[in-house]
Amino acid sequence: ALRTEERQRLARERREEREKQHAAKETQILEKERKAKLQYEKQLEERQRKLKEQKQKEEQRRAAVEEKRKQKIEEEKERYEAVMHRTLERNQRLETRQKRWSWGGSVTPDSESKTALLYTASKRSTSTANLKQTEAVMNKRLSSSAALLNTPDRTRRSQLSPLDSSIISRLLAPTQASLARSKSAAMLSAD
């Protein structure tokens, strides 16, 4: 009976020991699972944080590129407007100078320009009278010189009368007004 009791006690102790070991193993497994779950959640949070940061950086980069593009468009617009403004100013100066050197005198005539206008008007009337005289002579000779137009230049000049030659050379020679206009246009283009 003592041996049976002893065997039962030993069997009970072994069973309790096995249960303890089994419980310890289960606790270890549960602890490992808990740690793995925590690590997975931590990794997931880290990944989400990195994705969020990357998205923010991408948005900032896009915003910077868009801002730079808008700034470039604005600069090009300002440059274009400046070029247009300079061109308009240059054209206005050119028109003003051309009007100043034209037959009509300056744009806003003062006393000096009025006298200049009178002088040019008187010159114009004398030149108009001269033109009418030469026009009559030229009309007579146009019919005969029309045939000369198809002939070579040297032949044409040799066949013209001295009066015709002087009229043609006078017409071909630049006037003082045209020389002054050419000079002002050259000065404008140099500016």
Neighbouring C-beta atoms of residue 154, cutoff 10 Å: 8
In whole angstroms, give the CA distance from residue 67 to residue 65: 5
What pLDDT is attached to residue 57? 95
Report long-range pairs for 185-189 (Cβ below 8 Å, ≥24 apart): 185/98, 188/93, 188/94, 188/97
What pLDDT is attached to residue 161? 73
| pLDDT averages per 10-residue partition of the chain, 191 residues | 82 93 94 95 96 96 96 95 93 82 50 48 50 54 49 54 72 69 72 60
Tokens of 126: 């004398």
What pLDDT is attached to residue 149? 46
In whole angstroms, give the CA distance from residue 169 to residue 36: 111
Residue (of 177, 179, 181, 174) closest to 97 by Cα position: 181
Residue (of 17, 177, 14, 189) closest to 90 by Cα position: 189
What pLDDT is attached to residue 165? 73
Tokens of 58: 């991408």
Q: Which amino acid is at 172?
A: L
- Predicted model pTM: 0.33
What pLDDT is attached to residue 60? 95
Distances from the Cα of 47 to the Cα of 41, 61, 76, 143, angstroms: 10, 21, 43, 101
In whole angstroms, give the CA distance from residue 1 to residue 11: 15
Are residues 167 and 138 in contact, defined by beta-carbon separation less than 8 angstroms?
A: yes
Q: Note the residue count of the chain.
A: 191
